[in-house]
């Protein structure tokens, strides 16, 4: 009887061990990852990004290139796509941060990141000044630089040329106001065919939509984080009223997809929408005949301002080989790599944008113009301590404004938010 | 060993049988469970300084967080619709696939098919089908003169959309019922048939009482899973529109991973744990009355009514 | 079993309705996998592709090292299934057929482990696996299965409670010891449910996404579900490859289901007579 017991027990232990062996043909590299070094004196760096399958291979090639030219450093590339935040949160929370990380949400991760000012200083002034100045703001917290700019996007107005031609409407210009856009949208709309002039995302990211407040002369918060009189000001409400009006008169459609209505635009169901540079390649590949213009203005004596979506590469505080990590971060933001990633990210180095003649490119120049216009604006994300809750409330306010079953008055919706903070 | 039991000493046999689970519990479950309880008493950002705050997380949750009550309420409402709906459909399907008609093998596969599809794909497909403007579902409804709602964009319909899409994966529960039905001895049905009982009567007097242990299982587990539901609302509606599907599971997930408040999320989770525990305890308490148990104490019910 | 005319009518109406509900979205998924990327996005959606792109499957499969992912998924599925069947059958038998001190408390504890959501235990678990040196290996996905999962133990436990006591008593009178009772009498009785557990487990681990996401880093360790999720980026979702891989991924669990279905029926005497 006891024999049977011991046989069963040892069998289950054996199986457990087998499970262990079967699982890992090369545990070594895994071990090396966490130790940050292996017997041969080679330093291992874990590099993680939000690349999905679409861009993974391309990025991997660039990493391989580095590994080839740096015999003492082995960089392992990890791409987590859409769930990047969950993955690195869990990893950092458990004390297992990747050494080099793609980064945009600095307020959330700042305490896990190594300040880079001293590293940058060593490279000399010209190194730093070659990056667009605006982007340093987006990669710094509390006066410390936490990441090297690696890519950015500003927002522009995309329009479908074929639909404009068909409706015999003149293409949008860089001087358009929202009233011009509204008038054009009415002409472009064909309710019978379910074609609409403009797309309003029902659930935009509040981070991005601060640009409409900026364009109309206000922002979510003032100095010391005051909310009252800023995000619920008349100017703020006015900025969104025009969009709601378009929805109400049927010249725009409320879109739920997370890509700001890319799917509808791609299939020719909407003539205009506002989004970042990530759509350029998608639309080119889908062979959509499109153009872009600067964001519309709220009145002819105002300028339009764009939100800047910025990405950087940051180094973990817990990284054991910071010099090697810096070496790689430098490589990743170099001219050569800026060039190699064109079409996937907009170059952040002035020298590259110049050598590629982006200032005369009918599409790319718009993004750089919008970037320049946005120089003096700092998003509330970077200066307001409780952004995550504010953003949550704002999202709900936007939904109430733009959801066809509610269409709440923008002023009321924004007042509700302001009264909670 | 037999002699030991006779002498009323501790019988080790059951302990040997359950030892794998006890060892596994101690190694893989106890620590994370305890740890999450400890974290619930801390201001514990995933990244940053951890500070002990006593019951503050629980107090904040009950007194200051309106979303906590909203999410809790929505989730309970969802469970109240989803659990009975799913159980009944699963049971109907299980009975159907146990009737030996021609092609039953194919129907079994068809009914079971959706459970094999990964959550990511499920949400994409249903997102298309239920699209208010261009979706297939409203297109089909228009043929019979119904103008369908904007399922995913209308706060009152979104929860219905989640139920419809969620029930697509009912095959697992169906299969569990089916296995239980198949385990019933066919002699019982033959005897009933000879006595002139109808099929419906056989179902209620033989099938249903004999699968009550499985019904209990499906009831308890579906209460647990529906109160913890997150995948569909995360991928299909992302809690919207206007938080009408911002289920408790999503609320906890966002607190932990988006808002960087792991300690608070742990407090949320432990509160839900208590609710589930309470509901499960109630179900078990009631099960003495309605669940058939041949091995346990209520032998009196071993004969079906 | 004979169905009356009314019963037959209801049966076939339900059958048709349910078949449409379960099958149509699936068929559409297959059709989408065969469309061009542009056509997959057209509004209103087209049911049939204008050109059938059978090469989509090959392209999707080759866009990532899916061969490696498949091997990893198979290792995890097979080993966890063995683990669950061995451990759950023992534990459920221990709980269902014995009375011992502390049983109620332990069984309650077992059920409790299902009640805490995954997200709040993920980070402590991560720390633990890191101490074991298991991060970026398949061990976190496999080893716990050898200690039983509450869900399956509970399921087996429920099926064992409807078996009368006479079974083991008769066997003991015939001179069988406790383990012989388990292996010779109860294992065969449990077989249909163990088959069921096998199927359920394969599907669960096959589509499990958050576990692999958190514990695995390198592509060489990825499972199929993780590869599938990698088609979703921050701003983009590659619909066609997602659908193509989903269709391919469905096949192995369906084969497992086919086998199990056979054994679930064979294992027990057919309940309903024609």
Instruction: Residue C161: give its domain's CATH number.
Output: 1.10.3720.10
Mean local confidence (pLDDT), A371-375: 90
pLDDT of residue C166: 80
Is C15 inside a domain boundary? no
pLDDT of residue B41: 96
Residue C164 or A30, more confident: C164
Nearest C-alpha in A relative to C177: A1
Q: Residue A167 above 50 pLDDT?
A: yes
State the Rg of chain B over Cα: 24
Is C11 inside a domain boundary? no
Is C122 inside a domain boundary? yes
Query: How distant is the Cα of B134 from the closest Cα of chain A, in angstroms?
Result: 9
Is C274 inside a domain boundary? no
Identify the CA nearest to A333 among candidates A316, A347, A351, A317.
Answer: A347
Please say whether the beta carbons of B31 and C122 come within 8 A: no
Q: Does the distance separating the beta carbons of A54 and C43 come in below 8 Å?
A: no
Contacts of A156 (CB under 8 A, 6+ apart): A274, A275, A277, A292, A293, A294, A295, A306, A366, A367, A370
Query: How distant is the Cα of B269 from the closest Cα of chain A, in angstroms?
Result: 17
Query: How distant is the Cα of B217 from the closest Cα of chain A, in angstroms?
Result: 27
Contacts of A263 in chain B (CB under 8 A): none
Interface test with A, best of B153, B234, B239, B255 (most A CBs within 10 A): B153
pLDDT of residue B9: 64
pLDDT of residue C266: 57
Mean local confidence (pLDDT), C137-149: 95
Query: How distant is the Cα of C162 from the closest Cα of chain A, in angstroms?
Result: 26
Query: How distant is the Cα of C160 from the closest Cα of chain B, in angstroms?
Result: 8
Q: What is the pLDDT of residues A300-326, one digit of tens each?
A: 999 999 999 999 999 999 999 999 999
Q: Which of A218-232, A256-270, C74-88 has the lowest mean pLDDT?
A: A256-270
Q: Does C210 touch chain B (CB under 8 A)?
A: no
Q: Does the distance separating the beta carbons of A109 and B262 come in below 8 Å?
A: no
The predicted complex's ipTM stands at 0.88
Contacts of A51 in chain C (CB under 8 A): 233
CA end-to-end distance (rounded Å), chain C:
4
Contacts of A5 in chain C (CB under 8 A): 179
* Domain residue spans of chain B: 61-301
Distance in angstroms (rounded) separating the CA atoms of residues A356 and C211? 44
Mean local confidence (pLDDT), A125-152: 93
In CATH terms, the superfamily for domain B61-301 is: MetI-like (1.10.3720.10)
Q: Which of A45-49, A273-277, B141-145 has the lowest mean pLDDT?
A: B141-145
Residues 91-120 of C with CB under 8 A from B: 91, 93-98, 100-101, 103, 106, 109-117, 119-120
Q: What is the pLDDT of residues B111-149, one digit of tens each?
A: 999 999 988 889 888 988 888 777 888 888 888 888 888
Q: What is the pLDDT of residues C93-133, one digit of tens each?
A: 999 988 898 999 999 999 999 998 888 889 999 999 999 99
- The pLDDT > 90 percentage for chain C reads 59
Cα–Cα–Cα angle for A141, A145, A148, rounded to 5 degrees: 120
Task: Chain C: list its partners (3+ Cβ pairs within 8 Å).
Answer: A, B
User: For residues B288-298, b (16+ Cβ closer than 10 Å) or e, as one string?
Assistant: eeebbbbbeee
Q: Does the distance separating the beta carbons of C233 and A87 come in below 8 Å?
A: no
Q: Give the DSSP letter string of chain C.
A: ----HHHHHHHHHHHHHHHHHHHHHHHHHHHHHTS-HHHHT-SSPPSS-SS--THHHHHHHHTTTHHHHHHHHHHHHHHHHHHHHHHHHHHHHHHHH---TTHHHHHHHHHHTTTS-HHHHHHHHHHHHHHHT-TTSSHHHHGGGGG--HHHHHHHHHHHHTS-THHHHHHHHTT--HHHIIIIIIHHHHHHHHHHHHHHHHHHHHH--HHHHHH--SGGG--HHHHHHTTB-SS-B-HHHHHHHHHHHHHHHHHHHHHHHHHHHHHS---S--
Contacts of C42 in chain A (CB under 8 A): 267
Q: Give the CA distances from residue A267 to residues A33, A189, C44, C102, C126, in Å, rounded to whole numbers and listed in that order.
A: 45, 15, 9, 64, 43
Interface test with A, best of C37, C91, C233, C238 (most A CBs within 10 A): C233
Q: Residue A27 above 60 pLDDT?
A: no
Residues 217-236 of B with CB under 8 A from A: none
Q: Residue B271 above 60 pLDDT?
A: yes
Query: How distant is the Cα of B131 from the closest Cα of chain A, in angstroms?
Result: 9
- Strand-strand pairing, A43-49 and A73-79: parallel
Query: How distant is the Cα of C52 from the closest Cα of chain A, in angstroms?
Result: 18
Q: Residue A97 above 70 pLDDT?
A: yes
Distance in angstroms (rounded) separating the CA atoms of residues C146 and A18? 11
Residue A40's pLDDT band (cuts 50, 70, 90): low
Q: Does the distance separating the beta carbons of C161 and B28 come in below 8 Å?
A: no
Residue C264's pLDDT band (cuts 50, 70, 90): low
Q: Does the distance separating the beta carbons of C94 and B29 come in below 8 Å?
A: no
Q: What is the pLDDT of residues A174-228, one digit of tens each?
A: 999 999 999 999 999 998 888 999 999 988 999 999 999 999 999 999 888 899 9
Contacts of B257 in chain A (CB under 8 A): 85-86, 89-90
Please say whether the beta carbons of A421 and A393 come within 8 A: yes
Q: Does the distance separating the beta carbons of B258 and A111 come in below 8 Å?
A: no
Please say whether the beta carbons of B67 and B247 come within 8 A: no
Q: Which two tokens stand for residue A95?
A: 């004390």
Query: How distant is the Cα of C125 from the closest Cα of chain B, in angstroms?
Result: 6
Contacts of B110 in chain C (CB under 8 A): 19, 22-23
What count of residues does chain B have? 305
* Residue-range domains of chain A with CATH: 31-153+309-368 (3.40.190.10), 156-305+385-418 (3.40.190.10)
Please report, for chain B, how many H helices and E strands are present, in that order. 17, 2
Residue B276 or C264, more confident: B276
Is C98 inside a domain boundary? yes
Q: Does the distance separating the beta carbons of B49 and A203 come in below 8 Å?
A: no
Nearest C-alpha in B relative to C10: B96
Nearest C-alpha in B relative to C88: B21
Mean local confidence (pLDDT), A283-296: 92
Q: How many CA atoms lie within 13 A of A236 on its CB side?
A: 27
Alpha helices by DSSP H, B11-144 = 13-24, 30-39, 56-63, 66-97, 104-112, 119-129, 136-143
Contacts of A28 (CB under 8 A, 6+ apart): A38
Query: How distant is the Cα of C233 from the closest Cα of chain A, in angstroms?
Result: 5
**Total structural domains in chain C?**
1
pLDDT of residue A23: 39
Q: What is the DSSP letter of B237?
A: I
Contacts of C217 in chain A (CB under 8 A): 30, 33, 46, 48, 76, 78, 98
Q: Does the distance separating the beta carbons of B210 and C87 come in below 8 Å?
A: no
Is C233 inside a domain boundary? yes
Mean local confidence (pLDDT), B255-267: 93
Q: Residue C154 above 90 pLDDT?
A: yes
Please say whether the beta carbons of A188 and A169 come within 8 A: yes
- The pLDDT > 70 percentage for chain B reads 93
What count of residues does chain C have? 274
Q: Which of A178-192, B210-224, B233-247 has the lowest mean pLDDT?
A: B233-247
Q: Which of C151, C246, C271 sits opposite B117 (nearest CB)?
A: C246
Name the 3-class secondary structure at A254: strand
Please say whether the beta carbons of A185 and A272 come within 8 A: yes
Mean local confidence (pLDDT), B263-268: 95
**What is the span of the domain harbouring residue C74?**
31-267
- The dihedral built from the CA positions of residue C159, C165, C169 and C170, taken in this order, carries a sign that is negative
Q: Does the distance separating the beta carbons of A53 and C63 come in below 8 Å?
A: yes
Residue B295's pLDDT band (cuts 50, 70, 90): low
pLDDT of residue B187: 87
Nearest C-alpha in A relative to C220: A26
Contacts of C19 in chain B (CB under 8 A): 107, 110-111
Identify the CA nearest to A379 among candidates A164, A144, A220, A231.
Answer: A220
Q: Does the distance separating the beta carbons of A82 and C234 come in below 8 Å?
A: yes
- Strand-strand pairing, B51-52 and B42-43: antiparallel
Q: What is the pLDDT of residues B54-71, one digit of tens each?
A: 999 999 999 999 999 999
Q: Which of B118, B129, B266 sits opposite C249 (nearest CB)?
A: B118
Residue C267's pLDDT band (cuts 50, 70, 90): low
Cα C273 to chain center, whole Å? 30
Residue A273's pLDDT band (cuts 50, 70, 90): very high
CA end-to-end distance (rounded Å), chain B:
40
Work out the burial of residue A194: count CB atoms within 10 Å of its CB; fewer than 13 is exposed, 13-18 middle, 19 or more buried. middle
Nearest C-alpha in B relative to A97: B47
Interface test with B, best of A405, A413, A416 (most B CBs within 10 A): A405
Q: Does the distance separating the beta carbons of B150 and A108 come in below 8 Å?
A: no
Please say whether the beta carbons of A38 and A44 come within 8 A: yes
- The pLDDT > 70 percentage for chain C reads 95
Nearest C-alpha in B relative to C106: B22
What is the interface size between A and C, counted as CB pairs within 8 Å?
A: 159
Please report, for chain A, how many H helices and E strands are present, in that order. 21, 12
Locus of tokens 């402590």: C124
H/E element holding A328?
helix A322-332
Interface test with A, best of B236, B241, B253 (most A CBs within 10 A): B241
Q: Which two tokens stand for residue A248?
A: 């109400």
pLDDT of residue A82: 87
Q: Which two tokens stand for residue A266?
A: 């791609």
Please state the φ and ψ torsions of residue B183, each to the nearest 5 degrees. -80, -10
Q: Does the distance separating the beta carbons of A82 and C233 come in below 8 Å?
A: yes
pLDDT of residue A258: 66
């Amino acid at each position: 009887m006891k024999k049977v017991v011991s046989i069963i027990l040892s069998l289950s232990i054996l199986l457990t061990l087998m499970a262990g062996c079967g699982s890992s043909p090369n545990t070594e590299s895994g071990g090396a990852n966490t130790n940050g070094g292996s017997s041969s004196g080679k330093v291992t760096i874990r590099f993680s990004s939000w690349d999905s399958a679409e861009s993974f291979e391309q990025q991997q090639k660039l990493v391989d290139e580095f590994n080839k030219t740096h015999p003492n450093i082995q960089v392992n590339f990890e791409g987590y796509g859409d769930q990047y935040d969950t993955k690195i949160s869990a990893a950092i929370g458990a004390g297992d941060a990747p050494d080099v990380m793609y980064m945009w949400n600095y307020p959330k991760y700042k305490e896990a990141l190594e300040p880079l000012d001293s590293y940058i200083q060593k490279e000399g002034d010209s190194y730093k000044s070659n990056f667009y100045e605006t982007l340093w703001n987006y990669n710094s917290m509390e006066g410390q630089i936490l990441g090297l700019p690696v890519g950015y996007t500003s927002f522009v107005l995309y329009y479908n040329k074929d639909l404009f031609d068909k409706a015999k409407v003149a293409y949008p210009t860089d001087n358009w106001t929202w009233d011009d856009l509204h008038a054009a949208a009415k002409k472009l709309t064909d309710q019978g065919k379910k074609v609409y002039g403009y797309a309003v995302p029902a659930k935009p990211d509040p981070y991005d939509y601060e640009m409409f407040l900026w364009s109309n002369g206000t922002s979510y918060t003032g100095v010391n984080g005051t909310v009252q009189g800023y995000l619920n000001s008349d100017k703020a409400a006015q900025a969104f009223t025009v969009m709601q009006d378009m929805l109400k008169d049927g010249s725009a459609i409320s879109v739920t997809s997370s890509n700001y209505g890319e799917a509808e635009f791609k299939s020719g169901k909407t003539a205009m929408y506002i989004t970042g540079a990530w759509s350029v390649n998608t639309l080119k590949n889908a062979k959509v005949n499109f153009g872009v213009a600067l964001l519309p203005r709220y009145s002819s004596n105002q300028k339009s301002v764009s939100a800047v979506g910025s990405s950087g590469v940051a180094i973990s505080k817990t990284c054991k080989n910071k010099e090697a990590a810096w070496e790689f971060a430098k490589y990743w933001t170099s001219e050569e790599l800026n060039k190699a990633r064109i079409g996937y990210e907009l170059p952040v180095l002035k020298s590259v944008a110049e050598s590629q003649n982006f200032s005369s490119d009918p599409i790319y120049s718009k993004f750089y113009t919008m970037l320049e216009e946005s120089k003096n604006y700092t998003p509330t994300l970077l200066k307001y301590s409780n952004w995550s809750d504010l953003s949550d409330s704002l999202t709900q306010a936007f939904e109430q404004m733009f959801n066809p079953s509610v269409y709440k008055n923008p002023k009321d919706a924004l007042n509700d938010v302001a009264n909670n903070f | 060993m037999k002699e030991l039991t006779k002498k009323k000493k501790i019988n080790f046999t059951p302990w040997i049988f359950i030892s794998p689970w006890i060892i596994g519990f101690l190694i893989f479950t106890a620590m994370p469970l305890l740890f999450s309880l400890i974290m619930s008493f801390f201001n514990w950002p995933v990244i940053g300084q951890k500070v002990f705050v006593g019951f503050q997380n629980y107090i904040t949750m009950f007194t200051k967080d309106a979303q906590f009550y909203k999410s809790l309420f929505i989730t309970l409402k969802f469970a109240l619709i989803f659990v009975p709906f799913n159980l009944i459909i699963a049971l109907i399907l299980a009975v159907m696939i146990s009737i030996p008609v021609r092609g039953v093998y194919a129907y079994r596969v068809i009914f079971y098919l959706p459970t094999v599809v990964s959550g990511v794909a499920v949400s994409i497909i249903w997102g298309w089908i239920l699209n208010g403007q261009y979706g297939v579902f409203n297109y089909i409804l228009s043929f019979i003169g119904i103008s369908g709602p904007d399922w995913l964009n209308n706060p009152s319909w979104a929860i219905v959309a989640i139920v419809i899409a969620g029930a697509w994966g009912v095959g697992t529960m169906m299969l569990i019922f089916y296995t239980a039905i198949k385990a019933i001895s066919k002699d019982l049905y033959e005897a009933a048939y000879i006595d002139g009982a109808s099929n419906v009567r056989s179902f209620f007097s033989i099938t249903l009482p004999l699968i009550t242990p499985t019904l209990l299982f499906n009831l308890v587990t579906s209460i647990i899973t529906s109160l913890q539901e997150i995948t569909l609302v995360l991928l299909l509606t992302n809690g919207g529109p206007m938080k009408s599907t911002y289920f408790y599971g999503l609320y906890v997930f966002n607190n932990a991973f988006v808002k960087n408040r792991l300690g608070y999320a742990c407090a949320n989770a432990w509160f839900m744990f208590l609710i589930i525990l309470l509901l499960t305890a109630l179900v078990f308490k009631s099960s003495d009355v309605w669940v058939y148990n041949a091995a346990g104490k209520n032998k009196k019910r071993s004969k079906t009514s | 079993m004979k169905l009356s005319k009314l019963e037959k009518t209801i049966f076939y109406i339900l059958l048709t309705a349910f078949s449409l509900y379960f099958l149509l979205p699936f068929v559409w998924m297959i059709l989408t996998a065969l469309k061009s990327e542009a056509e997959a996005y057209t509004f209103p959606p087209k049911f049939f592709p204008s050109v059938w792109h059978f090469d989509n499957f090959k392209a999707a499969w080759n866009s990532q090292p899916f061969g490696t992912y498949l091997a990893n998924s198979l290792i995890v599925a097979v080993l966890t299934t063995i683990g669950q069947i061995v451990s759950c059958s023992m534990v459920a038998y221990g709980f269902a057929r014995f009375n011992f001190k502390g049983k109620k408390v332990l069984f309650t504890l077992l059920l409790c482990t299902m009640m805490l959501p995954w997200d709040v235990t993920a980070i402590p678990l991560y720390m633990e696996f890191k101490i074991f040196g298991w991060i970026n290996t398949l061990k976190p996905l496999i080893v716990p299965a050898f200690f039983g999962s509450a869900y399956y133990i509970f399921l087996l436990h429920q099926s064992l409670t409807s078996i009368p006591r006479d079974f083991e008593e008769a066997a003991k009178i015939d001179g069988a010891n406790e383990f012989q009772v388990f292996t010779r009498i109860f294992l065969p009785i449990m077989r249909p449910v163990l088959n069921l557990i096998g199927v359920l487990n394969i599907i669960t681990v096959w589509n499990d996404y958050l576990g692999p996401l958190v514990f695995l880093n390198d592509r060489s360790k990825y499972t199929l579900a993780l590869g599938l999720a990698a088609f979703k980026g921050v701003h983009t979702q590659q619909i066609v490859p997602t659908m193509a891989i989903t269709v391919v991924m469905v096949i192995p669990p369906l084969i497992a289901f086919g086998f199990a279905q056979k054994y679930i029926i064979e294992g027990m005497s057919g309940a309903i007579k024609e």
